[in-house]
Amino acid sequence: MKVRRDPRVPLTTAAGLGAVAVVVALVTGGSAPVVTAIAGVVTGLLAAVSLIMAASRVVPAHRRQPGAWRWMAAGALTWLLGVGVRPVADGTPFVLTFADLLMLVGSVLLAIGCGMSVKPPAFTRGVIRQAADAYLGAASVFAVAWVAVLGPAFRKAEDTGAFFVALALPVVCLLATCAVTPAVAASRSGNRVVGLTGVGVLTAITVAEMATALARLDGDTPPLAAGLVVPAMLLVLAVAPWVQEDRPARPLPAALTAATPLVLVAAATLVATLYAIGSSRDAALAVVAASVVLVLLGRLFVLLVETAGMRRLVDVGEQQLRRLAENTGDVVLVCDPGGVIQEVGPGLETTYGYCPEDLAFRPIFDYIHPEDVPAVQALLDRMTDEDDDGPEQGGGTRISCRFRASDGTWRPTESVAARHVRDDDLVLVTIRDLSDQVALRNQVTHLTFHDGVTGLPNRAYFEERARDVLTRRGAGGTAVIFLDLDGFTSVNDSVGHASGDHLLGQAARRLRSAVRADDTLARWGGDEFAVLLEGGASGGADAQTAIDLAERLVRAVSNEPFRVADRDVALTASVGVAFAEEDLPPGDLLRNADVAMSRAKELGGRRVEVFATHMHADVLRRLEIASDLQRALLENQFAIEYQPVVDLATSQVTAVEALVRWWRGSTFVPPEQFLGPAEDTGIIVPLSEWILREACREVAAWRASSWDIGLALNLSARQIMAPRFVETVAEALSESGLPASALTLEVIEEMLVEDAGEMISRLSELRTLGVRLAIDDFGTGYASLAFLRQLPVDMIKIDPSFVSGLGRDDTLTLLTKTIVQLGNDLGLIVVAEGIERPEQLDLLRKMGCTRGQGYLVARPMTARGVDSLMPTTTLQNTA
């Protein structure tokens, strides 16, 4: 970053110090050499200090600048040493003194600093060309000076050797000045002020030393005016570093920076002078003039050769650029600074439908979208600004805009603008059509944030939208609804995934019609959908609105069956609702809605559940239990209890139902808390196998004691669908010696409904082993009577909800009687579960129910407790 300072402060200080030094020298009556020496030392020191301070404090844009200023400071210090000791050294008999050598070295250092202060540096054109240009300029100036001043002085001189030795210092300064002036004057850098000032100092030194040399040859004292020119320029040099320009500088015309004008002036002066005096005595001048002409001819020849080569390179480059643009499908236009199209390349008609004549000499802005015109106009202004030193000069500037095709559509394009290689006043524009890329990008974006099956936003979009809403609007009135299609898995299994996707599309349309326009409906994944309600201020009305919407979603799914694969499929929906709270992260809000939905599904589906804190606690507890189940199985933390099943007519124990118990340390975990997680995690399969083998072994031992007792076991869906389930049952029977007819396997009605085909197939395989089958919790309404005909069932167990109403609810009593009658008519064993009161027992006996179990009959007990039961045990004793 550049540091801008008020230039008046250093300017005033420099001028004041210099003026004070000169005034003091004059007042004290010092001679011209003494005054010149004092002024030179003060101003030279001031310039050196200013340059060193500027190099250390100011950070210029050109990285070479600080180094260049230090070179110039070193030159100023060396020069001031020479000018300071010159009054003493001039008393020696030598033509060139030690002071002159110091001033010569200082001038060379100043020239090096001037050359390094500009961009590009002065010495990038080659040493030979640089030296030739410097010689031409210096020789031309020398020729003019010879005719005007030096020639007459030479003719008066008695010692020609001393004459040329005296001119050595000004001639070297003249060469150094001519060497750096063209580069500094032609530079476009905005930091060339110091360089130009340095050139001025070198010029002043050359003039002053020329006057000093002539005065020495005449035996006079150098004039005071000539001696004060250099201190004056040093004052300007001290100020220059603090008044840098911020914008690029306008270069001087190339004709003025070359040596040619100086040569022409010198030649004209020479011809005129020789013609006027008609003398051939000036041999030195003739040699100089001849050498100037020869060097100029050589430089001209080399320049012509280089120019021809560069023109060929420009032609080849332009042709290659056009051919490359045409091969890539780009359209090439050439515009003037006002945006008028001057030339049109091929490919325009193919890409945009225009003929080249349609666009020629018309403004390019007529074909650019109005919203993009200001940016394009600003770009052309920068490209055609002679003072601009931006990156587009070396290469090009890219800009995106919309270009109108002949059919009126706006095509997205990427254009590159660069200055024309032949004419800086023209701009070369290449236009590339990006319609296909933009369409592909939009399609990728759509697929990234939308579901391909339903067309709804997907989970990624929903999560991002929820974060945005909660960040911008806060938690007030925001709610999330999660919806899951109950029984959708059976649709995929029965009619295929393609038909399942078709059903999801129908469900999405129904749900979209039920939500509000400003709500966000998305497919969360699988058969789950999510709705984001962006409410206003929080309140009961907003909560009721969310619940009402959730109920509408349930009705939208459940009220009408879906038509899939030429059949009607009836589905229900489980819906969870969660409301945002202050400082609740979006992820937690989505999790809460998912937990509420899972709760609704656990309670049977087709219902709406609103998230409550205890639900999350229940989930965490289930996760904790699930993580401990595997360890519990390995550490034998499970035990088996048996609940007797008795014959209601004879009061004899006919069978026992094996029930699993879990003691986690000293804590008893109820079955309803761990059987669900065991089912979800798959631990239920090895656990059920262990229960099967242990129970078969225990019951086989009882039967070996001449006790005709059977075993009943509950089966889970995951256990039945395990790959080797049938083989596992056969192995358990074989290992224990328990007859297959003594084993009754129980399934609930819901399992038969969810996967009827595969489930019935597996149960039929068990039936072929001789194992008896029972339908547990019969009467809850999941299965139809058709299953009793499809599956050879041996037993039905009446759900405890019917038995609990016996004697108190006439409807339940009638339904129980109907089930008992139906089972007897079909020749099935009917078992009543949950007998807890004597009146229930009496009614079941009157209805003809053959068997029963419950706390009134016997509570679950360990194997040792079963040992105490004798076949003659009566109901009264067991009660």
Higher pLDDT, 22 or 410: 410
For residue range 379-398, list pLDDT tens digits in order.
Answer: 777 766 654 444 444 456 77
Residue reference for tokens 């080249």: 356
Most confident listed range (243-257, 267-281, 368-382): 368-382
Mean pLDDT of 775-801: 75
Residues of the chain with pLDDT > 70, as a percent, come to 75
Query: Does residue 746 register a pLDDT over 70?
Result: yes
Mean pLDDT of 359-366: 82
Query: Does residue 366 register a pLDDT over 50?
Result: yes
Query: Does residue 18 register a pLDDT over 70?
Result: no
- Widest Cα–Cα separation across the chain: 164
d(CA 410, CA 405): 6
Higher pLDDT, 711 or 124: 711
Residue reference for tokens 């209890």: 641
**Banded model confidence at residue 540, pLDDT cuts 50, 70, 90:** very low
Question: Which pLDDT value is given to residue 287?
Answer: 59
d(CA 716, CA 873): 32
Angle (CA) 490 496 502, round 5°: 95
Kindly give the pairing relationship between strand 567-569 and strand 562-564: antiparallel
Contact 547, 608 (CB under 8 A): yes
Higher pLDDT, 218 or 51: 51
Work out the number of other CB atoms within 10 angstroms of the CB of residue 361.
11
**Tokens standing for residue 462:** 């929903």
Work out the number of other CB atoms within 10 angstroms of the CB of residue 860.
18
Q: What is the DSSP letter of 150?
A: I
Question: Which pLDDT value is given to residue 508?
Answer: 93
Mean pLDDT of 625-646: 88
**Banded model confidence at residue 876, pLDDT cuts 50, 70, 90:** very low
**Tokens standing for residue 815:** 């339904």
Question: Which pLDDT value is given to residue 870?
Answer: 58
Long-range pairs for 823-831: beta carbons < 8 A, 24 or more residues apart: 823/796, 824/848, 826/788, 828/788, 828/793, 828/794, 828/795, 828/796, 829/774, 829/794, 829/795, 829/796, 830/795, 830/796, 830/797, 830/798, 831/645, 831/774, 831/795, 831/796, 831/797, 831/798
Q: Tell me the C-alpha to C-alpha distance, in Å, between residue 877 and each of 224, 397, 707.
A: 144, 101, 19
Higher pLDDT, 164 or 511: 511
Higher pLDDT, 269 or 333: 333
d(CA 652, CA 504): 55
Nearest Cα to Cα of residue 550 among 469, 608, 623, 466: 608
d(CA 446, CA 235): 69
Helix axes 65-89, 98-116, angle to 10 degrees: 160
Mean pLDDT of 677-692: 88
d(CA 412, CA 401): 6
Query: Does residue 498 register a pLDDT over 80?
Result: yes
d(CA 795, CA 864): 27
Contact 362, 341 (CB under 8 A): yes
* 172 half-sphere exposure, CB direction, 13 A CA radius: 17
Q: State the chain's mean pLDDT as an integer.
A: 78
**Tokens standing for residue 679:** 């089912």
Contact 805, 812 (CB under 8 A): yes
Query: Does residue 484 register a pLDDT over 70?
Result: yes
d(CA 455, CA 507): 12
Kindly give the pairing relationship between strand 653-664 and strand 710-714: parallel
Mean pLDDT of 740-746: 92
For residue range 421-443, list pLDDT tens digits in order.
Answer: 555 567 777 787 877 787 777 77
d(CA 203, CA 236): 13
**Banded model confidence at residue 407, pLDDT cuts 50, 70, 90:** confident
**Banded model confidence at residue 839, pLDDT cuts 50, 70, 90:** very high
Kindly give the pairing relationship between strand 607-610 and strand 572-579: parallel
Query: Does residue 769 register a pLDDT over 80?
Result: yes
Question: Which pLDDT value is given to residue 39?
Answer: 82
d(CA 591, CA 726): 39
Work out the number of other CB atoms within 10 angstroms of the CB of residue 457.
20
Contact 15, 232 (CB under 8 A): no
**Banded model confidence at residue 655, pLDDT cuts 50, 70, 90:** very high
Q: Exposure of 867 by Cβ count < 10 A (0-12 exposed, 13-18 middle, 19+ buried)?
A: middle
For residue range 74-121, list pLDDT tens digits in order.
Answer: 888 888 888 878 777 665 555 567 777 888 888 888 888 887 877 654
Of the candidate ranges 416-430, 453-467, 717-731, the one whose mean pLDDT is the lowest: 416-430
**Banded model confidence at residue 412, pLDDT cuts 50, 70, 90:** confident
Mean pLDDT of 35-57: 82
514, 517, 523, 527 alpha-carbon torsion, rounded to 10°: 0
Query: Does residue 577 register a pLDDT over 70?
Result: yes
**Banded model confidence at residue 9, pLDDT cuts 50, 70, 90:** low
Most confident listed range (327-331, 474-478, 871-875): 474-478
Mean pLDDT of 767-785: 78
Question: Which pLDDT value is given to residue 121?
Answer: 46
Higher pLDDT, 332 or 538: 332
Long-range pairs for 499-502: beta carbons < 8 A, 24 or more residues apart: 499/564, 499/565, 500/564, 501/453, 502/564
547, 553, 556, 561 alpha-carbon torsion, rounded to 10°: -120
CA torsion sign, 467 to 472 to 474 to 478? negative
* Whole-structure pTM value: 0.46
Kindly write down the DSSP assignment for every residue of 363-384, as one continuous string. BGGGGB-GGGHHHHHHHHHHHH
Of the candidate ranges 138-142, 214-218, 423-427, 537-541, the one whose mean pLDDT is the lowest: 537-541
Residues of the chain with pLDDT > 90, as a percent, come to 17
Question: Which pLDDT value is given to residue 593?
Answer: 92
**Tokens standing for residue 567:** 């059949």
Helix/strand/coil for 662:
strand
